Amino acid sequence: MGKGRKGKGRHAMGPENGKWVGDAISYVGVHSWIKRTLGEPRMCQECGRTRQPKGMKKSYFEWANVSGKYLRVVGDWKRLCAKCHRIMDRHLVLGRKKSSRNTSGYKGVSWEKDRKKWGASVERNGKHIRLGRFATKEEAAQAVAKYRLTE
59-76 tens-digit pLDDT: 788 888 877 777 788 888
Are 78 and 150 members of one domain? no
Amino acid in the structure at residue 109? V
- Work out the average pLDDT over 97-106: 75
Q: Which pTM value belongs to this model?
A: 0.50
What pLDDT score does 20 carry? 72
Among the candidates 96, 112, 128, a domain finishes at: 96
Count the neighbouring beta carbons within 10 Å of the beta carbon of residue 99.
Answer: 8
Are 91 and 122 members of one domain? no
Are 10 and 48 members of one domain? yes
Are 20 and 91 members of one domain? yes
pLDDT value at 1 more than 50 = no
* DSSP, res 87: H
Are 1 and 66 members of one domain? yes
- Work out the average pLDDT over 86-105: 70
Percentage, residues of the chain above pLDDT 90: 14
Q: What is the mean pLDDT of the chain?
A: 79
Q: For the segment 81-91, what is each residue's pLDDT rounded down to a tens digit?
A: 888 888 777 76
Are 58 and 76 members of one domain? yes
Are 82 and 131 members of one domain? no
Are 11 and 35 members of one domain? yes
Give residue 109's domain range: 98-151
Number of structural domains found in the chain: 2
What pLDDT score does 98 carry? 62
Give the CATH number, domain containing residue 143.
3.30.730
- Work out the average pLDDT over 112-131: 90
Are 72 and 16 members of one domain? yes
Give yes or no for a contact between 65 and 76, defined as CB atoms under 8 angstroms apart: yes
Measure the CA–CA gap between 121 and 64, rounded to whole angstroms. Answer: 29
Are 57 and 110 members of one domain? no
Among the candidates 52, 76, 96, a domain finishes at: 96
